[in-house]
Every structure is written in structure tokens, then in C-alpha cells.
């Protein structure tokens, strides 16, 4: 933590968090930072940093890793991944590789195929069922 805290203020701002290789290589770095920043003050305290890393550390609970991944997509933090949430996250991931129309079609199809109760949004359980086959929890790990 101290090695990352370049200005020595006891808080990590988003630019300082980029010192963690697994975070800096992630196109969703701002979403990850917002999840670590539990109190929403724009910086990550030592405790927030420890709690955040513990959730995704190698060997941590698979369910906790899946919850963390879900939170990355739940942009508005309402407990569901809406069409708008998924669009925002996917936009960051695909950049300019797709037009907005192509991206919206991809998002619509993803929601339609994954939304088992057909309420137009994804619950954690629907998200979990959709990603279990691709071993998301195994890929989401920081070696500390």
C-alpha cells in the first residue's frame, strides 16, 4: 500500500492504483476503483484496499469473486445489471471496434439470452449462471 501511495497521504487515488499490474491492465480500471472505494470519496483507504484485494486474491472464495465481477457490471449499484449498465461497461471494453448500434444489439441479445425471469435485467443469480461455464472466478485473481 505504501509503495503505491506516492504522495503519502494514506489514500490511493485512481492514478496510484494503476501501480497494481492486474488493475492497470484491466480496461475497466475505473469500475474496479469505484468498487474498492466503498465510501465513495474518490480515493481508496488502506482498509478499503485490503478488503478489495481480499475479495479477488488468489485462493479467495469463488462466490466473492463472482460478486465482485457482478459489481463491475452493476454500474448504478442497484443490485441488477440493466441494459444501460451492460452497455456502459461493454462500451469501455470494445472501444471503437463496434458502432453504438452494433453494441446495443450485442447488449440486447446478451440480456435476452441471460435474463431467465424476463424482467429486463440480470440478477446476481442470472449473472452467476451465465458466467460459470467460462470460469470467471478463476480468471479474476490478484496474486498478492
Cα dihedral 50, 52, 53, 54, rounded to 10, equals 80
Q: Which of 79, 88, 3, 78 is nearest to 46 (CA)?
A: 3
- pLDDT of amino acid 135: 60
What is the set of domains in the chain, with CATH numbers? Answer: 1-56 (1.10.238.10), 61-144 (1.10.238.10)
pLDDT in tens, 54-105: 777 767 778 888 898 899 999 999 999 999 999 999 998 888 889 999 999 9
Question: What is the model's pTM?
Answer: 0.75
Amino acid at each position: 500500500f505504501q509503495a503505491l501511495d506516492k504522495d503519502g497521504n494514506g489514500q490511493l487515488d485512481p492514478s496510484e492504483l494503476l501501480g497494481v499490474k492486474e488493475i492497470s491492465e484491466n480496461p475497466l480500471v475505473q469500475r474496479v476503483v469505484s468498487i474498492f472505494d466503498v465510501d465513495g470519496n474518490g480515493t481508496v483507504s488502506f482498509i478499503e484496499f485490503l478488503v478489495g484485494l481480499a475479495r479477488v486474491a488468489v485462493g479467495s472464495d469463488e462466490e466473492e469473486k463472482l460478486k465482485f465481477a457482478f459489481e463491475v457490471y452493476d454500474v448504478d449499484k442497484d443490485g441488477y445489471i440493466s441494459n444501460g449498465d451492460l452497455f456502459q461497461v461493454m462500451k469501455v471494453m470494445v472501444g471503437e471496434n463496434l458502432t453504438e448500434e452494433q453494441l446495443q444489439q450485442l447488449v440486447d441479445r446478451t440480456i435476452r439470452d441471460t435474463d431467465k425471469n424476463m424482467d429486463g435485467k440480470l440478477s446476481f443469480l442470472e449473472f452467476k449462471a451465465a458466467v460459470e461455464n467460462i470460469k470467471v472466478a478463476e480468471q479474476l485473481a490478484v496474486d498478492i
